[in-house]
Amino acid sequence: MKPEVRTRTQYCFLFPIQTRWADNDIYGHVNNVTYYSYFDTAANALLIQKIGFDIHQSPIIGLVVNSACDFLQELTYPEVIEVGVAISKIGNSSLTYDLAIFKQGQNQASAQGHFVHVFVERETKKSTPIPHEMRDALQDYLIK
């Protein structure tokens, strides 16, 4: 079953990424695992740039526990892409991100998917609730 292709207008945070020489595989396109790296980079950029999350000093960290991607159109080197990030669910200790990759100048996604961060205490790795300040700041990115 084909997924409904997402568009740029569904995302209020778009993060630009330049594909790299090493992203291409032997088949001449960006390797599938690299899409997940783009997703991870963009989701963390949202937390750092818009939420003020300090990845180096925060007593909590987000660990990816689930991810998926639908590949709709090949990406290659060199091109600039933009990764759209939205939050589809805020749980007690987890965030589910809705993500899509767009080629420059294209409105429809070349790839789309999700991943889930579970927040844990940095030292013990035990699940911990998302702080209220962070939860409040994330509301601006929640799909309504």
CB 101 within 8 Å of CB 66 = no
* Upper half-sphere CA count for residue 93 (Cβ side, 13 Å): 15
Residues 3-37 have pLDDT tens digits of 899 999 999 999 999 999 999 999 999 999 999 99
**CA dist 66 → 8, 116, 120 (Å):** 24, 5, 15
Give the start-to-end residue ranges of the domains of the chain: 11-141
pLDDT in tens, 59-104: 999 999 999 999 999 999 999 999 999 999 999 999 999 999 999 9
CA geometry: angle at 75 spanning 70 and 76, to 5°? 155
Its pTM stands at 0.95
CB 30 within 8 A of CB 19: yes
- The band of 41, judged by pLDDT with boundaries at 50, 70 and 90, is very high
Query: Does residue 3 have a cis peptide bond before it, meaning omega lies within 30 degrees of 0?
Result: no
Architecture of the domain delimited by 11-141: Roll (3.10)
Going by pLDDT thresholds of 50, 70 and 90, the confidence category of residue 1 is confident
